[in-house]
Amino acid sequence: MPTVRKRNGKFQVQVRMKGLPTSTRTFDSKTDALRWGISIESGAIQHDPNGNMNIASDVTLGDLLNRYYKDVALQRVWHRRERSIIRNIQKSALYHTKVNQISESAVAKYRDERLKTVRPSTIVRELAAVSHCITIAQTDWGVKIPINAFKLVRKPKVRNGRERRIANDEWLRLVKADSGRGRRSFIHIIEFAIETALRKGELLRVKWRDLDVEQSTLHVGMTKNGYPRTIPLTPRALAILKSIERLPNDERVFHVKYGTLSSWWTELIQCAGVRNCRWHDLRHEGISRHFEHGLSIPEVALISGYRDYQMLRRYTHIKAENVAVKLARLSAQAK
């Protein structure tokens, strides 16, 4: 590993290799110093005799992203997100830049430009995806990239925690507004989403064969994090499923497309006069209710699919008045 020292406001890097004289250079930034030092140590300028894509000076970021999408992203359930990220990168100068010439400052400039139009969480996802692409190029594809600038650049702080719960009067307005939609009524889908705390994509992929009525469970095979799970169903969730007419050769439970459900939800909340309520808030509501019903952290984690409590806590905001009722009930039982 090259040695970097800060001297007189600049960064001096030294590379010592056995049998060779010490190489020393001074740079304005630590990133450039490390990049130069590591390139010297790794011999990044050498050609691969087998003709593999391993000469960073000949490879653009676009080359890597295109291969990443074909070889890695397409194997995932959520590959459309990676495709969207690549399309955004294509609009920037970084896409056509040689990967060994991409500096931390260039990535920071891209970050700051994107922050003018999108939320910090979007930027964090984009930087993470490109960083993962470069890491795979380094470890699996033999591309000699001294510095992963997307990994080193400072990430914007994400403050997207929401405390949005659905109030009783809001629920009544949603039910009333949905009753006027006729054949396009979907209040049963909304209620099922709350009862199960399923994500929208997971919900719309539910099939009848995934349901075990005797055990009151539902198998969720295709999930966001790649870990399938089997969740317990509440009596209300089972009642909703039993109320749905199943047609012959019918596999899916809910016959609504992802985009259609999104537009229906937008129409419904506008009609009901419910503001600042997203579909994902239904998952938030469901997780919170499970806690309020007395389920433990591992039990709610089983239902929600979260593998650590820190992530689970972001979606959990228990109503104090509900806890007060529970405490009163427990106190009465103790007497």
**pLDDT-based confidence at residue 32 (cuts at 50, 70, 90):** confident
Mean pLDDT throughout 13-41? 73
pTM of the predicted structure, to 2 decimals: 0.62
Q: Which contacts (CB < 8 Å, 24+ apart) does range 294-303 have?
A: 294/326, 302/229, 302/231, 302/232, 303/196, 303/197, 303/231, 303/232
pLDDT tops 70 at residue 117: yes
pLDDT tops 90 at residue 33: no
pLDDT number for residue 50: 37
Query: Which of the residue ranges 15-24, 196-205, 225-234, 285-294 would you say has the lowest mean pLDDT?
Result: 15-24
Mean pLDDT throughout 21-27? 73
Token code pair at residue 14: 């030294």
Let me know how many helices (H) and strands (E) the chain has, helices first. 15, 6
E strands, the chain, in order: 3-7, 10-15, 23-27, 211-212, 217-220, 229-232
265 Cα distance to chain centroid? 22
Mean pLDDT throughout 271-281? 94
What is 72-100 written as a DSSP string? TGGGSTTHHHHHHHHHHHHTSGGGGSBGG
pLDDT tops 50 at residue 120: yes
pLDDT tops 50 at residue 53: no
**pLDDT-based confidence at residue 38 (cuts at 50, 70, 90):** confident
Mean pLDDT throughout 293-314? 81
Burial state string for 178-201 with b = 16 or more CB within 10 A and e = fewer than 16? beeeeeeebbebbbbbbbbbbbbe
Mean pLDDT throughout 145-151? 89
